[in-house]
Structure 1
Amino acid sequence: MSHNHTLNLVEAEIGGGRISKKTIDQIESSDSGFLKISGLTQETFEYFVGNYGGRFTSIEFWKCPLISDLSPLETLGDIEAISYYWNQRAEKLWDMSKNTRLTRFAFEDFTRVKSLEQVSACTSLKELTFGNKVWVTQEIDSLEPLKQLKNLCKLGFYIKKVLDGRLAPISELPQLSSVDFPLNLFSTEKLAWLTSRIGDKTQSRCLAPYHRIEKPIDDGSKKKDTFIVGKRKPLLDWNQDRERISKYTQKFEALVAKYKANLSIPEPEK
């Protein structure tokens, strides 16, 4: 197999299946540096990482819910990209300081992980994504650990709640060029504050008074296509609700101007 192609060891079952050591041993005859694999248990995960993990610069773990201990990944000193979708047993990640060449990391639908503390040790990271792919239910203790990721350029998190309520750590990422998260995760006041700090250098649908979607939601009387950013803000019809949208926009822009005029103002409490 060409090194430019991904070796696909995804089992056919919708839940990820259970991959065997015999199937894993197919790696022996491949020269690919990219792997997508599913159905690993703790035993086969350790077998794979111990025997073949060092061959790859990019690994996508697709539906491996049964792994509780991710520490074998600490041995992958040359890994550059890891993505992992769906885990039900791990309560923490691993010592990511050992992955000194890791620049891209995504962990999604990890039902028990609530802390980003171990991510903060991977200072080589340039891209980070975490949260849920479909139903946004995950809660994270705090974004505070992200402050350590001084090389981070792209950040996306799709979660239900940040338990300490703070988004200020995002403003302390000097290389951040793109950020995305649910439009209703924080208040309009907090988003205006963040916009005043990073809006000139960072692209985001969250750093604007509203966001329009391509396919309107038709409720019979309106075709709602415009999200007003902020917690508990409405979804409006661009054509019928133009005046309301304008008022929200003016208020948002006034808040941004206020915070820009006085950069010593801390993040709003609510």
Structure 2
Amino acid sequence: MFAAVPGSGALWTAPLGSDTWTTVDGPWRDPSGVALSDDGTVLTVADAGVDDVWQVDRETGSAVALGFPGEPGSTLRGVAVDHGDVFVVDNGEGSVWARVQGSWRVAVSTAPDGSPLVDPTGVAVGADRSLVVADYNRQRIVTAASSGRVAPAPTAVPTSSPTGTPTTTVPDGDPTTAPPVGATSRPTGDAGRAGPVPPGSGPSRPAPTDGPDHARALAWTGSAPVVPVLVVSGLLLLLGAAGVVIRRRRA
């Protein structure tokens, strides 16, 4: 355990359960507050002699000043640490400063009722990161809602998760309206103009099996009439044969 006695100019330490105290050497002039890191490797000391805060590596003994930004009336007293953050009491200015992520700022200077701190002497960090301050002149303990920590920004959470199936509707393969029979057209020599497709030259399509279109499909197999020519030729042959028979009978 460690103890700082303001005005004595010394920092003391003793094993737990022992009454044998020894001094701890360091760069401080008037240790007024002391705290140990969570892992016990770093000692943090508030120095009222120079109004600065020191951190000492207990293994190597190297010390670093944190550069407290005090005012002319500042007088440092108690100090506390919490996961690397440092909190120190400025008795002369009636406030508690916090050093978070390398930057100092005032964490607490008033009680919850709005009254200012007067001659605060000690500070501790609660389990919920609140600050507990001993306000000596007013003979009270003040609990602050904020410990001066910089709260991490919340992670954005989407309000809904996208589904694996796309919402776009795929059109059916068959058109909803069938084109009228015989309405096919093809472009003519003029660009952008369409004209009727002559029989037999357009794209092929299944022939109807009944109705008038069926007769037209049988009567036309290409670009010229075939069945009418055959009919006329047959009639001529019949008429020629009939004439021969008549002439023989007259003879």
Range class of TM-score, shorter chain: under 0.3
TM-score between the two structures when normalised by the length of structure 1: 0.21
User: Of the two structures, which has the highest relative contact order with CA contacts closer than 8 Å and spacing of 6 or more?
Assistant: 1
Structure number with larger C-alpha Rg: 2
Greater helix fraction, Structure 1 or Structure 2: 1
Alignment TM-score, normalising by the size of structure 2 = 0.23
